[in-house]
Amino acid sequence: MVNKIRKQLTPRQEGILKAVEGFILERGYAPTIRQVGRLLSIASPSAVFKHLASLEKKGYLTRDGGELRLAGQPAGGARVRVPLAGLVPAGTPKEAFDVSPDSSVDIPDWMVGRRRGNIFCIRVEGKSMIDAFIDDGDTVLLERTNSASSGEMVVGLLEDGSVTLKRLRREEDGRTFLVPENPAYKPFAVENLRVLGRVIGVLRKY
Protein backbone atom coordinates (compact mmCIF):
# COMPACT_ATOMS: atom_id res chain seq x y z
CA MET A 1 0.00 0.00 0.00
CA VAL A 2 1.41 3.36 -1.02
CA ASN A 3 1.66 6.06 1.61
CA LYS A 4 -0.65 8.89 0.50
CA ILE A 5 1.33 11.47 2.48
CA ARG A 6 4.26 12.13 0.16
CA LYS A 7 7.30 14.16 1.02
CA GLN A 8 8.34 17.16 -1.05
CA LEU A 9 10.67 16.52 -3.95
CA THR A 10 13.83 18.35 -4.91
CA PRO A 11 13.91 19.87 -8.43
CA ARG A 12 16.23 17.06 -9.55
CA GLN A 13 13.89 14.39 -8.17
CA GLU A 14 10.92 16.04 -9.89
CA GLY A 15 12.81 15.91 -13.19
CA ILE A 16 13.71 12.25 -12.73
CA LEU A 17 10.15 11.32 -11.79
CA LYS A 18 8.76 13.05 -14.90
CA ALA A 19 11.35 11.30 -17.07
CA VAL A 20 10.50 7.89 -15.60
CA GLU A 21 6.75 8.53 -15.94
CA GLY A 22 7.11 9.58 -19.58
CA PHE A 23 9.30 6.59 -20.42
CA ILE A 24 6.92 4.06 -18.81
CA LEU A 25 3.81 5.58 -20.39
CA GLU A 26 5.44 5.62 -23.83
CA ARG A 27 7.13 2.21 -23.82
CA GLY A 28 5.31 0.16 -21.19
CA TYR A 29 8.38 -0.69 -19.11
CA ALA A 30 10.73 1.16 -16.78
CA PRO A 31 13.95 2.79 -18.02
CA THR A 32 17.38 1.58 -16.96
CA ILE A 33 19.57 3.65 -14.67
CA ARG A 34 21.76 4.58 -17.65
CA GLN A 35 18.71 5.60 -19.70
CA VAL A 36 17.53 7.90 -16.92
CA GLY A 37 21.01 9.36 -16.77
CA ARG A 38 21.06 9.99 -20.53
CA LEU A 39 17.59 11.57 -20.46
CA LEU A 40 18.72 14.07 -17.83
CA SER A 41 22.44 14.31 -18.60
CA ILE A 42 23.46 12.72 -15.29
CA ALA A 43 26.82 11.04 -15.83
CA SER A 44 26.95 9.03 -12.60
CA PRO A 45 24.75 5.87 -12.45
CA SER A 46 25.14 5.82 -8.66
CA ALA A 47 23.66 9.33 -8.47
CA VAL A 48 20.65 8.22 -10.52
CA PHE A 49 20.24 5.17 -8.30
CA LYS A 50 20.21 7.32 -5.15
CA HIS A 51 17.54 9.60 -6.62
CA LEU A 52 15.38 6.60 -7.59
CA ALA A 53 15.78 5.18 -4.09
CA SER A 54 14.70 8.52 -2.63
CA LEU A 55 11.63 8.60 -4.89
CA GLU A 56 10.77 5.12 -3.70
CA LYS A 57 11.13 6.10 -0.04
CA LYS A 58 8.95 9.16 -0.60
CA GLY A 59 6.19 7.06 -2.12
CA TYR A 60 6.41 8.14 -5.76
CA LEU A 61 7.88 4.90 -7.08
CA THR A 62 7.46 1.29 -5.96
CA ARG A 63 9.00 -2.06 -6.76
CA ASP A 64 7.05 -5.25 -7.40
CA GLY A 65 9.23 -8.34 -7.69
CA GLY A 66 12.19 -6.13 -8.54
CA GLU A 67 10.28 -4.21 -11.21
CA LEU A 68 10.13 -0.43 -10.92
CA ARG A 69 6.59 0.99 -11.03
CA LEU A 70 4.86 4.32 -10.69
CA ALA A 71 3.02 4.60 -7.39
CA GLY A 72 -0.55 3.51 -7.93
CA GLN A 73 0.28 1.43 -11.01
CA PRO A 74 -1.51 -1.89 -10.45
CA ALA A 75 0.67 -4.86 -9.52
CA GLY A 76 -2.02 -7.49 -9.64
CA GLY A 77 -5.56 -7.57 -11.00
CA ALA A 78 -6.67 -9.27 -14.19
CA ARG A 79 -4.20 -11.51 -15.98
CA VAL A 80 -3.95 -12.84 -19.51
CA ARG A 81 -2.09 -15.80 -20.99
CA VAL A 82 0.58 -15.21 -23.61
CA PRO A 83 2.68 -17.79 -25.51
CA LEU A 84 6.10 -18.69 -24.09
CA ALA A 85 9.07 -19.23 -26.40
CA GLY A 86 12.18 -21.17 -25.50
CA LEU A 87 15.34 -19.79 -23.97
CA VAL A 88 16.84 -16.76 -25.69
CA PRO A 89 20.47 -15.91 -24.93
CA ALA A 90 21.44 -12.55 -23.48
CA GLY A 91 25.06 -13.37 -24.19
CA THR A 92 26.41 -15.34 -27.15
CA PRO A 93 23.74 -15.78 -29.87
CA LYS A 94 22.32 -19.30 -30.17
CA GLU A 95 19.96 -21.25 -32.40
CA ALA A 96 16.54 -19.83 -33.23
CA PHE A 97 13.50 -20.55 -31.12
CA ASP A 98 9.86 -21.33 -31.84
CA VAL A 99 6.90 -19.81 -30.02
CA SER A 100 4.76 -22.73 -28.88
CA PRO A 101 1.04 -22.15 -28.24
CA ASP A 102 1.15 -25.11 -25.86
CA SER A 103 3.40 -23.19 -23.43
CA SER A 104 2.17 -19.96 -21.89
CA VAL A 105 2.66 -17.53 -19.02
CA ASP A 106 0.13 -15.49 -17.03
CA ILE A 107 0.84 -11.76 -17.45
CA PRO A 108 -0.82 -8.79 -15.70
CA ASP A 109 -3.44 -7.37 -18.04
CA TRP A 110 -2.07 -3.82 -17.77
CA MET A 111 1.25 -4.92 -19.29
CA VAL A 112 -0.48 -6.16 -22.44
CA GLY A 113 -3.15 -3.51 -22.98
CA ARG A 114 -4.44 -3.19 -26.53
CA ARG A 115 -1.57 -5.26 -27.92
CA ARG A 116 -3.24 -8.51 -26.78
CA GLY A 117 -2.78 -11.26 -29.37
CA ASN A 118 0.49 -9.76 -30.55
CA ILE A 119 2.55 -10.54 -27.44
CA PHE A 120 4.85 -13.41 -26.47
CA CYS A 121 7.36 -14.20 -23.72
CA ILE A 122 10.88 -15.59 -23.61
CA ARG A 123 13.10 -16.96 -20.88
CA VAL A 124 16.47 -15.24 -20.77
CA GLU A 125 19.74 -17.13 -20.58
CA GLY A 126 22.84 -15.11 -19.73
CA LYS A 127 23.79 -11.77 -18.17
CA SER A 128 24.69 -9.49 -21.06
CA MET A 129 21.63 -7.30 -20.35
CA ILE A 130 22.05 -7.09 -16.58
CA ASP A 131 22.39 -3.28 -16.54
CA ALA A 132 18.97 -3.09 -18.22
CA PHE A 133 17.56 -5.07 -15.25
CA ILE A 134 17.28 -8.23 -17.37
CA ASP A 135 19.00 -11.12 -15.61
CA ASP A 136 19.60 -14.80 -16.28
CA GLY A 137 16.29 -16.68 -15.83
CA ASP A 138 14.02 -13.63 -16.21
CA THR A 139 10.84 -13.77 -18.26
CA VAL A 140 10.78 -10.99 -20.85
CA LEU A 141 7.59 -9.78 -22.52
CA LEU A 142 7.85 -8.84 -26.20
CA GLU A 143 5.63 -7.35 -28.86
CA ARG A 144 5.86 -9.08 -32.22
CA THR A 145 7.28 -6.71 -34.80
CA ASN A 146 9.65 -6.78 -37.76
CA SER A 147 10.94 -3.27 -37.12
CA ALA A 148 12.30 -1.33 -34.17
CA SER A 149 13.82 2.06 -33.43
CA SER A 150 17.43 2.61 -32.50
CA GLY A 151 17.75 2.34 -28.73
CA GLU A 152 15.02 -0.26 -28.24
CA MET A 153 15.74 -3.72 -26.82
CA VAL A 154 14.93 -6.45 -29.31
CA VAL A 155 15.16 -10.14 -29.99
CA GLY A 156 16.92 -10.42 -33.31
CA LEU A 157 17.44 -13.25 -35.78
CA LEU A 158 20.94 -13.21 -37.27
CA GLU A 159 22.09 -14.38 -40.71
CA ASP A 160 23.35 -17.68 -39.32
CA GLY A 161 19.93 -18.51 -37.85
CA SER A 162 20.86 -17.72 -34.25
CA VAL A 163 18.89 -15.38 -32.00
CA THR A 164 19.89 -12.98 -29.24
CA LEU A 165 18.45 -10.33 -26.97
CA LYS A 166 20.27 -6.99 -27.23
CA ARG A 167 19.72 -3.25 -27.61
CA LEU A 168 19.46 -2.10 -31.21
CA ARG A 169 21.68 0.72 -32.40
CA ARG A 170 21.58 2.18 -35.89
CA GLU A 171 24.43 4.43 -36.98
CA GLU A 172 24.11 7.40 -39.34
CA ASP A 173 26.35 5.62 -41.83
CA GLY A 174 23.78 2.81 -42.13
CA ARG A 175 25.53 0.24 -39.97
CA THR A 176 23.51 -1.73 -37.40
CA PHE A 177 24.84 -2.90 -34.05
CA LEU A 178 23.47 -5.10 -31.30
CA VAL A 179 24.60 -3.68 -27.97
CA PRO A 180 24.73 -5.51 -24.62
CA GLU A 181 24.00 -3.77 -21.31
CA ASN A 182 27.00 -5.25 -19.53
CA PRO A 183 30.56 -3.88 -19.84
CA ALA A 184 31.88 -7.46 -19.93
CA TYR A 185 30.33 -7.88 -23.40
CA LYS A 186 31.07 -5.90 -26.56
CA PRO A 187 28.65 -4.56 -29.20
CA PHE A 188 28.81 -6.28 -32.57
CA ALA A 189 27.81 -5.23 -36.07
CA VAL A 190 25.12 -7.19 -37.89
CA GLU A 191 23.84 -7.36 -41.44
CA ASN A 192 20.39 -8.43 -42.62
CA LEU A 193 19.09 -8.46 -39.06
CA ARG A 194 15.52 -9.70 -38.71
CA VAL A 195 13.75 -8.23 -35.68
CA LEU A 196 11.39 -10.75 -34.09
CA GLY A 197 10.09 -8.59 -31.25
CA ARG A 198 10.78 -5.60 -29.05
CA VAL A 199 10.89 -5.70 -25.26
CA ILE A 200 7.91 -4.18 -23.45
CA GLY A 201 8.32 -5.63 -19.96
CA VAL A 202 10.22 -7.92 -17.59
CA LEU A 203 8.87 -10.36 -15.01
CA ARG A 204 11.01 -11.69 -12.18
CA LYS A 205 10.55 -13.81 -9.07
CA TYR A 206 12.99 -13.80 -6.14
**Residue 153's pLDDT is what?**
94
Identity at 202, one-letter amino acid code = V
Mean pLDDT value of segment 58-77 = 68
Q: How far apart are CA 129 and CA 166, in angstroms?
A: 7
Instruction: For residue 96, name the pLDDT band (cuts at 50, 70, 90).
Output: low
44 and 111 in a single domain? The answer is no
> Has residue 178 been placed in a domain?
yes
**Catalytic annotation on 7?**
no
Instruction: For residue 114, name the pLDDT band (cuts at 50, 70, 90).
Output: low
**Residue 182's pLDDT is what?**
93
> Has residue 3 been placed in a domain?
no
Domain count, the chain: 2
**Residue 4's pLDDT is what?**
41
**Residue 65's pLDDT is what?**
54
Do 187 and 169 form a contact (C-beta atoms < 8 A)?
yes
4 CB-near residues (< 8 Å, 6+ apart): 59
% of the chain surpassing 70 pLDDT: 80
146 and 53 in a single domain? The answer is no
**Catalytic annotation on 166?**
yes
**Residue 107's pLDDT is what?**
75
90 and 184 in a single domain? The answer is yes
Closest CA to 108 of 124, 98, 119, 93: 119
Domain boundary among 19, 50, 70: 70
We report the CATH number of the domain holding residue 37 as 1.10.10.10
- Spell out the alpha helix ranges (H) of 58-118: 109-112
149 CB-near residues (< 8 Å, 6+ apart): 168
Mean pLDDT value of segment 20-40 = 78
**Residue 61's pLDDT is what?**
85
**Of these residues, 94, 162, 166, 186, which one is catalytic?**
166
**In which domain, by residue range, is 66 found?**
11-70
Q: How far apart are CA 49 and CA 47, in angstroms?
A: 5
Dihedral angle at the C-alpha atoms of 74, 204, 57, 7, nearest 10 degrees?
-30
Sign of the Cα pseudo-torsion (134, 136, 138, 141, in order): positive
Do 156 and 94 form a contact (C-beta atoms < 8 A)?
no
Identity at 22, one-letter amino acid code = G
Residue 200 has pLDDT above 80, yes or no: yes
112 and 47 in a single domain? The answer is no
> Has residue 134 been placed in a domain?
yes
Compute the half-sphere exposure of residue 46: CA atoms within 13 Å on the CB side of its CA.
0
64 and 83 in a single domain? The answer is no
Domain boundary among 20, 37, 70: 70
**Of these residues, 58, 128, 147, 186, which one is catalytic?**
128
> Has residue 196 been placed in a domain?
yes
**Residue 194's pLDDT is what?**
92
127 and 181 in a single domain? The answer is yes
96 and 184 in a single domain? The answer is yes
Model pTM above 0.75: no
| 188-190/176-179 β-pairing | antiparallel
**Residue 2's pLDDT is what?**
39
Highest mean pLDDT range out of 1-10, 66-75, 91-100, 137-146?
137-146
> Has residue 4 been placed in a domain?
no
